[in-house]
Amino acid sequence: MSSVKLLSPSLLSADFGHLANDITMLNNSECDWLHVDVMDGDFVPNISFGQPVLKHIKRFAAKPLDVHLMVTEPSRYVREFVDAGAAWVTVHAEACRHLDRTLRLVRECGVKSGVALNPATPVSAVENVVELCDLVLLMSVNPGFGGQKFIENTYKKIEQLCALRSSRGGEFLISVDGGVNDKNAANLYAAGCDVLVAGNAVFAAPNPTEMISRLKKM
């Protein structure tokens, strides 16, 4: 299974006290996008940051901002995150009362649409919105925190998602988020994953730029 092999480091593991420095490091690295994890303390048991911080990330970032909304009923905030600089807006299927409507709203705002699925959510949750997705993000940890252990069942879901995409002529990218590191990245790309998100593996590495190059060469 061939994939496009993009890398989107997650700013959740960056140094929030020196965010501009970490963004500059990413600008000068081989990564493709910057992954921005927004958490509301309701859909997930943690709070990160919102659109005011995204606006400042946008001031420094030279690469597309891949915004992952871990918030209840994200349709309330889609426009604000687009105005703040998102290039991709990914919403959780579990958090949307009307997933079809929310994905249409994301596209109407002029950006790429993504659907994220929690580890316990079946791939079939995107079956009826294939045409509305530019990206499907499989959570390989339960969302809420960086630095958790990768859930191996994700490989089965990548396979199922690849099968769904080809049977339906879908054009969405397949992303995997959570517990990605230099031990599993090659296998994930080989399994058909197009975009890997990595937080802890990048920012806890002694040399994050070098780790990004290594992950990109997998």
199 binds, among Zn ion, ligand DX5, none (CB under 5 to 8 A by kind): ligand DX5
- Per the structure block, which two tokens stand in for 53? 């911080």
Which stretch of DSSP H or E encloses residue 160? helix 154-168
- 42 is annotated as an active-site residue: no
Are 73 and 103 spatial neighbours (Cβ–Cβ below 8 Å)?
no
Residue 112 binds ligand DX5, judged by CB under 6 A: no
Q: In the β-sheet with 112-117, what is the strand arrangement from edge to edge?
A: 6-9, 195-198, 173-177, 135-139, 112-117, 88-92, 65-70, 34-39
User: Among residue numbers 60 through 79, which ones bind ligand DX5 (CB under 6 A)?
Assistant: 68
Among 3, 5, 10, 69, binds ligand DX5 (CB under 6 A): 10
Least distance between Zn ion and beta carbon 108 (Å): 23
Q: Which residue is nearest to Zn ion (CB)?
A: 68
134 binds, among Zn ion, ligand DX5, none (CB under 5 to 8 A by kind): none
Residue 114 binds ligand DX5, judged by CB under 6 A: no
Phi, psi of 137 (to 5 degrees): -105, 120
Of the candidates 22, 32, 177, 194, the residue annotated as catalytic is 177
Residue 193 makes CB contacts below 8 A (sequence gap 6+) with: 3, 158, 174, 175, 176
Catalytic site positions: 37, 177
Residue ranges that bind ligand DX5, judged by CB under 6 A:
10, 12-13, 35, 37, 68, 141, 143-148, 177-180, 197-201
